[in-house]
Amino acid sequence: MYELFKNLGAWLVSGEQWAGSDGIGHRLAEHLQYSLLATLIAAAIALPVGLLIGHTGRGAFVAINLSSFGRALPTVGLVVLVFLASGLSMWPVYIALVALAIPSIVTNTYAGMTAVDPEVRDAARGQGMRWHQVLFQVELPLAMPLIMTGLRLALIQVVATATIAAYVSFGGLGRYVFDGLAQRDLVQVLGGAVLVAVVAVVLDLALSALQRALFRHRPAKSA
C-alpha cells in the first residue's frame, strides 16, 4: 500500500508524465475543454427553459420531470447508444455530458425564479417595467445566486463524468483510467482518478469564491 502511494506520488510529479501530447498537461486541457463546452451547451439550452418556466409559471411540471428523467439516464449507456447510432465521433460524449448537466441547471434556475419575492415582482410591474425588463432587471439578478449554484453543480458533475470520453477512444483525464485498466497499471488508474477529483474540487472552490464575491451585499436568505 505504501509502495502504491509512493509510486503514485512519483507518477504525478515526474516531468515526463506532464509533457507531450499524451502528458498530463495536454490531457487536462482536453478534459477541461470537453467539460466547459458541454456545460456551456447545456446552459444555452437549460437557462432559457428555466427562466421561461420561472417567469411564466407554466410548464414547470413537464420541465422538472423531464429533468429528473435526464438525471436518471445512465451516462455510459447513453454514450454507447449514441456511439452505436452515429459511429465514432465526439457526439456521443457531448450528448451524454449535456444531458447530464441540463437537469441541475433547469431545476436550480427555476428554483431561483420561484424564490423571487412576489411582492418585488409585483412592484417591478407596478413601476411600469415591461415583461422583459422585469425578467432581466429584477428576476434574473435575484435568481442569479441559485442559477450560479446550478451551473457549478452541473460543471462538477460533467468534470467527474468526462472520463467517459476515453471510453470511446478520445482524450481527457479518463485516458489514464481506461489505459491503466487495460494495462493493469494501478498507479496510472489511481493517478487519473486523483487528477479528476482534484480538478473537480478546485473548480468548485473557485466558483464558490466567485459566487461569494459577486453576491456579498445580498441579504443572507437569497444568497
Partner 1 sequence: MIQFDTVHKRFPNGTTAVHDLTLDMPEGGVTVLVGSSGCGKTTTLRMINRMVDPTSGTIRVGGKDVLEQDAAELRRSIGYVIQQSGLFPHRTVLDNIATVPLLLGWGRRKARARAAELLETVGLAADAGKRYPHQLSGGQQQRVGVARALAADPPVLLMDEPFGAVDPVVRTQLQDELLRLQRELNKTIVFVTHDIDEAVRLGDRIAVFRTGGHLVQCASPAELLARPADDFVADFLGAERGLKLLSLTTLADVPQAPAPEGGAWTLRLDATGAPVAWRHKDAESADIPVRPLRDTDSLLSALNESIAAPSGLVARVDAAGVLTGVSSRDDIHEHAGVAHEQGREGVPSGARGTARAAQDDPHTPVKGPGQTEPRAEDGTGDTDADGAPAPTTAERSA
Q: Which residues bind partner 1 (CB under 8 A)?
A: 117, 119-120, 122-130, 133, 138, 141-142, 217-219, 222
Q: CB under 8 Å to 196, separation ≥6 — which residues? A: 31, 159, 160, 163, 173, 174, 177
Cβ distance to partner 1 smaller for residue 125 or 212: 125
Task: Give the shortest CB-61-to-partner 1 separation in angstroms.
Answer: 20
Cβ distance to partner 1 smaller for residue 87 or 128: 128
Cβ distance to partner 1 smaller for residue 28 or 144: 144
Task: Give the shortest CB-137-to-partner 1 separation in angstroms.
Answer: 8
CB 26 within 8 A of CB 175: no
Cβ distance to partner 1 smaller for residue 22 or 117: 117
| Burial environment of residue 79 by CB neighbours within 10 A (0 to 12, 13 to 18, 19 or more) | buried
Task: Give the shortest CB-119-to-partner 1 separation in angstroms.
Answer: 5
Task: Give the shortest CB-68-to-partner 1 separation in angstroms.
Answer: 30
Q: Which helix (H) or strand (E) holds 140?
A: helix 140-161
CB 135 within 8 A of CB 109: no
- CA 203, CA 220: separation in Å to the nearest integer? 23
